[in-house]
Amino acid sequence: MDKEEALKKKRIFVGFNNAGAPGISSFTRVLRSQGLKVDFWGFTDKWRDVTVDVRIRRPKNIFLQKAFGVLLLVRAVLKYDVFHFYSCYTFFHYRVDHIVLKILGKKIVNTFTGSDVFDIGGSVKKYGAGSPYNNFYKKQGASFINWLNRRKEFIVSHSDRITLMGPWLVRSVARYDAVIPYPRNIGSIRSYKSAVTTKKKFLIFHAPTNEDIKGTRYLAKTVKSLKNKGYNVELKLTKNISREELLRELNLSDVVVDQLLIGWYGGFAVEAMALEKPVICFIKEEYKKLVPFGDEIPIINANKDDLEDVLEDIIKNKEKLSNIGKKGYEFVKKYHDAPVIAEQYKKVYESLV
């Protein structure tokens, strides 16, 4: 029996990450279509175009949440052989869950996505106020950051496989087995693409999950400076909107800004490129070397210091944007589309059987 056939006899749990739900849903649908017994358990009912096999609605009361978590854990261990957790989310408590699963002989995969494992303390110590996490560190305090580190170390040591969603996390973990990019159903996203009516202003779109970490204040300052120079530009800044609204807003933009501090792009940039929108993002050269597609990334590289020059050049040469957008679509179709990512996760699962 080959590994693929052996894997088809196993039942695989994947969950629970809310923000990453569109990506998780996309690759688990592909694996299910290939005959694998994969179920995606998700917290969210926020995304209308996301298929969740088991939808979780946790009680608001913390004690009820814990009791509910125990029930979910019991239900899951009776059904699944492989457990794939995202962003450190577990049923009851990461220590209890991992120990129980290991005792019962279950296999554990953990995917880290970003701030859940990034070396925040090390970044602040090295860069000080220049760290994208400097304000986060000050707000949360050293004790909370130390707790995050202890959680990370425990999960790494008690998981059979560790995958990362980006090379910027490589130096933050003691070990990892693969860097697997953000998955997305590129075809589904493309269905939102529509013709844009002529606009008087050059529209820059930015949708930060955390303004400090994404460098939003530098973008706002830059746009203000461009306006003072006489450029007809507008910054569209949104937070906490539905994915459907997000994709519609992307359609209206001339250029999209992801982040200016971290050094790598996120799922937001992938969705923008799927809609052929040019993306501006800070990409560190050292991270490009850690992935096989580093030299192919069609993102316009800019940081907080040279952003104004980059945007000014783009505004003056808008005819270049269409070609950049097309290259972005070709890139995400090649490296981020659900079938491509599904094959990479399937190899991880096969290595466990």
Minimum mean pLDDT range among 46-50, 165-169, 296-300: 46-50
191-243 tens-digit pLDDT: 888 876 567 899 999 999 899 999 999 999 999 999 999 999 999 999 878 88
Residues contacting residue 274 through CB under 8 Å, at least 6 positions apart: 184, 186, 189, 190, 328, 329, 332, 333, 336
> What per-residue confidence (pLDDT) applies to 46?
63
> What per-residue confidence (pLDDT) applies to 47?
61
> What per-residue confidence (pLDDT) applies to 346?
98
> What per-residue confidence (pLDDT) applies to 196?
67
Contact 16, 42 (CB under 8 A): yes
Q: Is the pLDDT of residue 125 over 90?
A: yes
Mean pLDDT along residues 46-62:
82
Distances (CA, A) of 117 to 122, 125, 336: 12, 16, 22
pTM: 0.94
> What per-residue confidence (pLDDT) applies to 231?
96
> What per-residue confidence (pLDDT) applies to 1?
64
How confident is the prediction for the chain on average, in pLDDT? 94
Residue in the block written with tokens 């629970």:
16
Highest-confidence segment of 63-67, 195-199, 295-299:
295-299
> What per-residue confidence (pLDDT) applies to 244?
83
Contact 17, 45 (CB under 8 A): no
User: 111 or 18, which is more confident?
Assistant: 111
> What per-residue confidence (pLDDT) applies to 350?
97
DSSP characters for 137-178? HHHH-HHHHHHHHHHHHHHHHT-SEEEESSGGGGGGSS--SE
Minimum mean pLDDT range among 41-45, 171-175, 177-181, 328-332: 41-45
Q: Is the pLDDT of residue 345 over 90?
A: yes
User: 277 or 18, which is more confident?
Assistant: 277
Q: Which two tokens stand for residue 185?
A: 């159903």
Minimum mean pLDDT range among 37-51, 160-174, 209-223, 315-329: 37-51
Q: Is the pLDDT of residue 275 over 70?
A: yes
Residues of the chain above pLDDT 70, percent: 97
Q: Based on the number of CB atoms within 10 Å of its own CB, is 301 exposed (0-12), middle (13-18) or buried (19 or more)?
A: middle
> What per-residue confidence (pLDDT) applies to 198?
60
Mean pLDDT along residues 170-179:
97
> What per-residue confidence (pLDDT) applies to 19?
77
Q: Would you place residue 17 in the very low, low, confident or very high pLDDT band (cuts 50, 70, 90)?
A: confident
